[in-house]
């Protein structure tokens, strides 16, 4: 398990060529007081057999989606991942490659990025997409910074109905003073129209909403877009990529920048990371877009090929004038998303979305019918919904976990105002049998 | 017709051009509940025009991506001496581990009692990274090195703010990675460049001249991007601290000093660690990586959360530090990457990790000795895990640029080194062999580079036209900008 192939004899030969007696001499530039005079206080090495057993032991102490029936979502979803996805992302030529800075030997990565960008454009209705950001939250934050650069305005209005972690990430990203973030209150699980209109003015760079919202509800995006544009601001819309199989595209709904958490597209939940930040915008704003972009061109023999392009936006060229400091992105997760979207196709994506939505509606109705849950919001919803539980949410969840279920997210955990509310998500993996069993068990508590 | 056009799948054929309208791979599950009327459930917002996604079978997908993979070069393909990127071998057991259902299938919001194994792994990893850094508090949140830089500088900003100190500038050496100044700008600070001295280190006198009470921090990579350990490091950190500023370490080059020297002991206050460099997690064709940040005790309360904690009874949980700068992203971190790094560190253990740096440094110095006769060194000193050659003389004598050398290396089956970085070396070629390459590989690579030097003298045009054997040859980057084609669109005419 050393992964160091040089033999003792070779090491001696190498030292001789370098002209030193020991490796220690090569560290002579390290000043005495900056040296570690003892071995690192770390565990002893492990062979692969022991290591595998140790890791299996750690993994066994986590409940996972193979062992429990999950109704948890809130930004991370238990969708089915087709076998072909891991078969592709497991190819060493993809996952052991670096950023494609040498295009002649990186056509695989570059074409895969180009195809991914194309698919993101198809889903969002936008003209350009980047090669990926870290996750939905950071894509959302970068979208705000981009809107500030485009409009040269500093106020950013964010719906109170977006994922709280997206809002918190955005707040952190503007700590340096690039923008002033104001939350617009939500009502009935969606952005309050009146609050938004009264906050809008000609110093607003962007209005930022998500549809579906954190609560699973759908916003009236066209109305928000109209209000936003009449103030000369840009609309940043957070979307769910699975629902885009059946929902009107962000561009068609009036968004100027579309972002999404792409984990649902073929990426494992993996305790919340790595996710996939999907980012798309209109062509006119390309030069303000953060992140890498691949483009199609030709080589000296006229053959089609792909390169990273519009790099003058990026940190390795522009340094402090770059559109973002992002360098490493989530290319392998983007590859997984592209393979996923190829595997399901547009009919499959629509079918999966419809399956999730149908099951979610069936589940919501059945939960309400138990008399233990009540609908909280009237707005339409997709595959995720918020109900009020008539009882102690934490006790219900822990009782249901004992019965093999992850019973949604206790929204009281995210904010005390939301105590008593539970956010449920339903994917196409859930069966009627599982849903019926959950309903019967929770009704009997 | 060119021969290419007759090949079953020629280069550049898009997945959108494969299959047929009726081709399918994975279909949705059969309906077992009543299907909603989408119009009734979602209202006006139902999509009218479906996205134009590929219509392909699983065979199409398998062959398409196999063909793309065959046009790619990874660490498993061959030697990848990309300076500053630490392209070491990515152990297979790490890939196996992160795919275990008990890791890959865990939801970030499931009760902590049902994720104790994941939390223990994170807590242990925080501890190990803190020990290596010589800095006690660690956050695993950052998704990449640049994200770690942003985290670290925001923590430093919060530290100053809490003391009522609003400083405006951050010092960055002229040899720094581009992410450093870009991060400084994102944090709302002004970038002030620090020159290097004739030995390739920070020009100490110039630094002292730039230090005033408006300076919030110095960002420094040590060993630096020239592969040199700054001998004055203690004096540098001392001078910066003397004016109340802090020192941030870009940990990109940590592979040189594991178990030898710790950034905390050098006087650094904060450090990001690229797990996808030093700790062998794969680069994924650009990511995902992970960039945990380690900080000194006085900065611990500002770290972004959540971080993993352990109570007296051995129960693990996630918590947000007291004066946290807030979140840097959703959820706790790039857990799948953390699992790989943890597995690697446990496999290597304390002695294995020290051996990593010893061999990485020896291999770099060995390769440097083999090459110096043909390529002048930018700085003729003992190097750490990488070194920088200059192709300026070759350009002057033969009109062959470093770019040409890099492209010619592709014909010999090697990934080129990093070129034209750091910016302070003319025609730079930055070589980092890493410890996972054998002596025979280094010998062959050196022989090839020496051969290319001969080719440059004998037949410069051979190099100007390289590469010849790759899936495509030099690409027209200007045309890519002039006529942007950034996404396929459906239509009667597709392809090029």
Task: Give the pLDDT confidence of B36-89 residue by residue, as tens digits.
Answer: 999 999 988 999 999 999 999 999 999 999 999 999 999 999 999 999 999 999
Any B CB within 8 A of A194 CB: no
Phi and psi torsions of B270, nearest 5°: -150, 150
Angle at B298 between CA B309 and CA B169, to 5 degrees: 125
Mean pLDDT of A265-271: 98
Angstrom distances, CA of residue B425 to CA of A350, B404, B430, B434, B464:
54, 17, 10, 22, 21
Cα–Cα–Cα angle for B418, B423, B426, rounded to 5 degrees: 85
| pLDDT classification of A33: cutoffs 50, 70, 90 | confident
Would you call A93 and B53 a contact, using CB atoms and an 8 Å cutoff? Answer: no
User: Which pLDDT score, from 0 to 100, does residue B5 have?
Assistant: 56
Alpha-carbon gap, residue B308 to B315, rounded angstroms: 10
CB A178 within 8 A of CB A146: no
Task: Confirm or reject contact between B116 and chain A (CB < 8 A).
Answer: yes
Q: Which residue has the tokens 């033969």?
A: B398
What is the per-residue pLDDT for A150? 98
Instruction: Using a CB–CB cutoff of 8 Å, tell me whether B54 touches chain A.
Output: yes
Task: List, by residue range, all CATH 3.40.640.10 domains of chain A.
Answer: 84-339
Of A347, A79, A84, A428, residue with least CA distance to B29: A428
CB atoms within 10 A of CB A163: 21
- Residues B97-112 have pLDDT tens digits of 999 999 999 999 999 9
Q: Do B335 and A273 touch (CB under 8 A)?
A: yes
Looking at chain B, the whole-number percentage of residues with pLDDT higher than 90 is 94
How far apart (Å, rounded) are the C-alpha atoms in residues B112 and B109? 8
- pLDDT one-digit tens code per residue, A69-101: 999 999 999 999 999 999 999 999 999 999 999
Residue B112 to residue B115: CA distance in whole angstroms: 5
Please compute the mean of the pLDDT values over residues B197-210 and round it to a whole number.
95
Residue A223 pLDDT grade (very low, low, confident, very high; cuts 50, 70, 90): very high
B487 contacts on A by Cβ (under 8 Å): 114, 117-118, 120-121, 127-129
Structural class in CATH, domain A69-81+346-443: alpha beta
% of chain A at pLDDT higher than 90: 96
Phi-psi region of A272 (alpha: psi -120 to 50; beta: other; left: phi over 0): left
Neighbours of A411 (CB within 10 A): 23
Asked if B132 reaches chain A (Cβ–Cβ under 8 Å), the answer is: yes
pLDDT score of A80: 98
Nearest CA in chain B to A10: B439
With CB atoms and an 8 Å threshold, state whether B369 touches A18: yes
Contacts of B53 in chain A (CB under 8 A): 119, 122, 341-342, 344-346, 349
Best of A21, A29, A359 to mutate (most B CBs within 10 Å, chain B): A29
| Cross-chain CB nearest to A46 (options B331, B349, B354) | B349
Q: A351-354: which pairs have CB atoms within 8 A and are 24 or more residues apart?
A: A351/A245, A351/B27, A351/B28, A352/A79, A352/A242, A352/A245, A352/A428, A352/B28, A353/A242, A353/A243, A353/A244, A353/A245, A353/A246, A353/A247, A353/A382, A353/A383, A354/A245, A354/A246, A354/B28, A354/B35, A354/B36, A354/B38
Nearest to A107 among B11, B183, B415 (CB): B11
The answer to whether the Cβ–Cβ distance between A286 and B191 falls below 8 Å is: no
B212 to chain A, any CB pair closer than 8 A? The answer is no
* Overall fold of domain A84-339: 3.40.640
How buried is residue A260: exposed, middle or buried, by Cβ count under 10 Å (0-12/13-18/19+)? Answer: buried
B431 - beta bridge partners?
A: B82, B387
Q: Is B472 on the interface with A (CB under 8 A)?
A: yes
Q: Which CATH number applies to B352-479? A: 3.90.1150.10
pLDDT confidence of residue B156: 98
Put simply, the answer to whether A327 touches B144 (Cβ < 8 Å) is yes
- Start-to-end CA distance of chain B, whole Å, equals 14
CATH 3.90.1150.10 residue spans of chain A: 69-81+346-443
CB B250 within 8 Å of CB B219: yes
Residue range(s) in chain B whose domain bears CATH number 3.40.640.10 = 93-347
Q: Which residue of A lies nearest to B113 if distances are taken between CA atoms? A: A62
* Closest Cβ–Cβ partner in B67, B105, B325 for A269: B105
The answer to whether A18 contacts B261, with C-beta atoms less than 8 Å apart, is no
Q: Taking CB atoms and an 8 Å limit, are B370 and A314 in contact across chains?
A: no
> Quick one: pLDDT band at residue A232, thresholds 50, 70, 90?
very high
CA nearest B370 in A: which residue?
Answer: A17
Contact assessment for residue B239 and residue B218, using Cβ atoms and an 8 Å cutoff:
no
A135/B330 Cβ within 8 A? yes
Q: Where in chain B is the domain with CATH 3.90.1150.10?
A: 352-479
Chain A hits for B46, CB-CB cut-off 8 Å, are: 246-248
Whether B9 has a pLDDT exceeding 60, the answer reads: no
Cβ–Cβ contact B80 with A under 8 A: yes
**Distance from C-alpha of A117 to C-alpha of A109, rounded to nearest angstrom:** 12
Instruction: Let me know: does A423 contact A385? Beta carbons within 8 Å.
Output: yes
What is the least distance, in Å, from the CA of A364 to any CA of chain B? 12
pLDDT above 70 covers a percentage of chain B that reads 97
Listed in sequence order, the DSSP H helices in A19-156 are 48-60, 83-89, 92-95, 107-124, 136-151
Question: B308-340 as b/e, with b when 16 or more CB fall inside 10 Å?
Answer: bbeeeeeebbbeebeebbbbbbbbbbbbbbbbb
**B156 touches A at CB < 8 Å:** no
Whether A37 shows a pLDDT value over 60: the answer reads yes
> Does A441 lie at the interface with B, CB-CB under 8 angstroms?
no
For residue A296, which phi and psi values (nearest 5 degrees)? -95, 140
Question: Given B33, B47, B354, which is nearest A248 (Cβ)?
Answer: B47
Closest CA to B110 of B317, B344, B340: B317
Q: Does domain B93-347 have CATH number 3.40.640.10?
A: yes
Task: Examine the pLDDT at A259 and tell me if it is beyond 90.
Answer: yes
The reported pTM is 0.97
Q: Report pLDDT digits (tens) over B127-186.
A: 999 999 999 999 999 999 999 999 999 999 999 999 999 999 999 999 999 999 999 999
B59: part of which helix (H) or strand (E)? helix B58-70
ipTM for the complex?
Answer: 0.98
pLDDT exceeds cutoff 80 at B3: no
pLDDT recorded at residue B494: 43
Q: Could you tell me if B340 lies within 8 Å of chain A, comparing CB atoms?
A: no
> A344 touching B, CB under 8 A?
yes
In a mutational test of the B interface, the residue from A4, A17, A85 whose CB has the highest number of chain B CBs within 10 Å is: A4
Is residue A57 over pLDDT 80? yes
* Cross-chain Cβ contact A11/B54 below 8 Å: no
Residue B244: strand pairing partners: none
Task: Tell me the shortest Cα–Cα distance from B102 to chain A, in angstroms.
Answer: 4
Task: Please report, for residues A46, A47, A51, B98, the alpha-carbon distance to residue A55 in angstroms, rounded to integers and kept in the order given.
Answer: 11, 12, 6, 9
B384 neighbourhood in chain A, CB within 8 Å: 26, 29
Cross-chain Cβ contact A401/B350 below 8 Å: no
Q: What is the pLDDT of residue B495?
A: 43
- Give the gap in angstroms from C-alpha A440 to the nearest C-alpha of chain B: 16
Cβ-based burial of B483 (10 A; exposed 0-12, middle 13-18, buried ≥19): exposed
pLDDT band for position B496 (cuts 50, 70, 90) = very low
**Read out DSSP for A418-444?**
GTTEEEEE--TT--HHHHHHHHHHHHT
Whole-angstrom distance between the N-terminal and C-terminal Cα of chain A? 51
The whole-angstrom separation of Cα A71 and Cα B479 is: 49
Which pair of tokens denotes residue B251?
């940990």
């Amino acid at each position: 398990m050393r992964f160091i192939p040089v033999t003792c004899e070779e090491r001696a030969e190498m030292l001789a060529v370098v002209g030193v007696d020991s490796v220690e001499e090569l560290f002579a530039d390290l000043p005495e007081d900056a040296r570690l005079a003892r071995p690192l206080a770390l565990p002893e090495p492990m062979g692969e057999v022991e290591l595998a057993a140790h890791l299996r032991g750690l993994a066994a102490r986590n409940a996972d989606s193979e062992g429990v029936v999950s109704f948890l979502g809130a930004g991370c979803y238990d969708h089915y991942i087709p076998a072909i996805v891991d078969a592709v992302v497991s190819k060493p030529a993809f996952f052991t490659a670096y950023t494609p800075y040498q295009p002649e030997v990186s056509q695989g990565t570059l074409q895969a990025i180009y195809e991914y960008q194309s698919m993101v454009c198809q889903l969002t209705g936008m003209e350009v997409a980047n090669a990926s950001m870290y996750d939905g939250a950071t894509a959302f934050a970068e979208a705000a910074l981009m809107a500030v650069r485009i409009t040269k305005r500093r106020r950013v209005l964010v719906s109170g109905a977006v994922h709280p972690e997206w809002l918190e990430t955005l707040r952190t990203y503007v700590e340096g003073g690039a923008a002033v973030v104001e939350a617009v209150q939500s009502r009935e699980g969606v952005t309050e129209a009146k609050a938004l209109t009264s906050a809008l003015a000609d110093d607003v760079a962007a209005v930022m909403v998500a549809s579906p919202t954190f609560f699973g509800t759908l916003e009236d995006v066209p109305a928000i877009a109209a209000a936003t544009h009449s103030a000369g601001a840009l609309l940043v819309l957070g979307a769910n990529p699975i629902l885009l199989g059946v929902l009107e595209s962000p561009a068609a709904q009036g968004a100027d920048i579309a972002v999404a958490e792409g984990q649902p597209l073929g990426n494992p939940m993996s305790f919340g990371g790595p996710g996939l930040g999907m980012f798309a915008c209109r062509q006119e704003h390309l030069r303000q877009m953060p992140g890498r972009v691949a483009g199609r061109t030709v080589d000296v023999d006229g053959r089609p090929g792909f390169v990273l392009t519009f790099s003058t936006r990026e940190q390795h060229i522009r340094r402090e004038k770059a559109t973002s400091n992002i360098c490493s992105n989530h290319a392998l997760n983007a590859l997984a998303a592209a393979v996923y979207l190829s595997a399901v196709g547009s009919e499959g994506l629509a079918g999966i979305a419809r399956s999730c939505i149908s099951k979610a509606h069936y589940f919501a109705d059945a939960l309400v019918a138990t008399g233990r849950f009540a609908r909280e919001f009237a707005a339409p919803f997709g595959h995720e919904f918020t109900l009020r539980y008539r009882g102690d949410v934490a006790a219900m969840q822990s009782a249901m976990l004992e019965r093999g279920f992850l019973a949604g997210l206790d929204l009281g955990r995210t904010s005390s105002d939301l105590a008593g509310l539970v956010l449920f998500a339903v994917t196409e993996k859930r069966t009627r049998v599982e849903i019926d069993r959950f309903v019967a068990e929770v009704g009997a508590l | 017709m060119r021969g290419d056009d007759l090949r079953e799948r020629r280069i550049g054929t898009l997945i959108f051009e494969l299959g047929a309208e009726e081709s399918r791979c994975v279909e949705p599950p059969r309906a077992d509940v009543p299907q909603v009327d989408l119009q009734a459930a979602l209202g006006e917002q139902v999509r009218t025009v479906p996205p134009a996604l590929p219509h392909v079978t699983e065979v199409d997908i398998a062959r398409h991506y196999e063909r793309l993979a065959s046009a790619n070069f990874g660490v498993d393909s061959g030697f990848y001496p990309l300076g500053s990127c630490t392209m070491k071998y990515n152990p297979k057991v790490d890939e196996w581990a992160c795919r275990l259902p008990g890791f890959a299938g865990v939801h970030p919001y499931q009760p902590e009692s049902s994720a104790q194994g994941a939390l223990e792994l994170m807590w242990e990893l925080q501890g190990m990274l803190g020990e290596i850094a010589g800095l006690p508090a660690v956050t695993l949140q950052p998704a990449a090195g640049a994200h770690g830089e942003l985290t670290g500088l925001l923590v430093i900003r919060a530290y100053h703010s809490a003391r009522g100190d609003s400083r405006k500038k951050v010092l960055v050496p002229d040899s720094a990675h581009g992410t450093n100044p870009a991060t400084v700008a994102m944090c709302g600070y002004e970038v002030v460049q620090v020159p290097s001295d004739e030995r390739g280190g920070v020009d100490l006198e110039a630094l002292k001249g730039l230090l005033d009470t408006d300076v919030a921090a110095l960002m420094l990579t040590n060993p630096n991007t020239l592969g040199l350990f700054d001998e004055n490091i203690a004096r540098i950190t001392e001078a910066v601290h003397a004016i109340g500023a802090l020192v941030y370490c870009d940990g990109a080059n940590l592979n040189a000093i594991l178990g030898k020297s710790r950034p905390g002991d050098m006087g650094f206050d904060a450090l990001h660690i690229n797990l996808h460099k030093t700790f062998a997690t794969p680069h994924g064709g650009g990511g995902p990586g992970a960039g945990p940040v380690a900080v000194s005790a006085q900065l611990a309360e500002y770290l972004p959360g959540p971080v993993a904690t352990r109570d007296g009874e051995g129960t693990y949980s996630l918590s947000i530090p007291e004066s946290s700068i807030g979140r840097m992203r959703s959820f706790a971190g790039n857990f799948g990457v953390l699992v790989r790094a943890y597995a690697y560190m446990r496999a290597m253990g304390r002695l294995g990790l020290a051996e990593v740096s010893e061999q990485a440094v020896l291999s770099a110095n060995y390769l440097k000795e083999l090459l110096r006769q043909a390529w002048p060194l930018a700085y003729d000193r003992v190097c750490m895990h990488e070194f920088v050659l200059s192709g300026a003389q070759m350009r002057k004598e033969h009109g062959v640029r470093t770019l040409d050398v890099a492209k010619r290396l592709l014909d010999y089956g090697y990934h080129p080194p990093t070129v034209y970085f750091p910016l302070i070396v003319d025609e730079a070629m930055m070589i980092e062999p890493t410890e996972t390459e054998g002596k025979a590989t280094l010998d062959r690579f050196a022989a090839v580079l020496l051969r290319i030097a001969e080719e440059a003298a004998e037949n410069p045009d051979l190099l100007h036209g390289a590469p010849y054997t790759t899936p495509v040859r030099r690409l027209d980057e200007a045309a890519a900008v002039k006529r942007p084609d950034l996404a396929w669109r459906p239509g009667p005419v597709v392809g090029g």
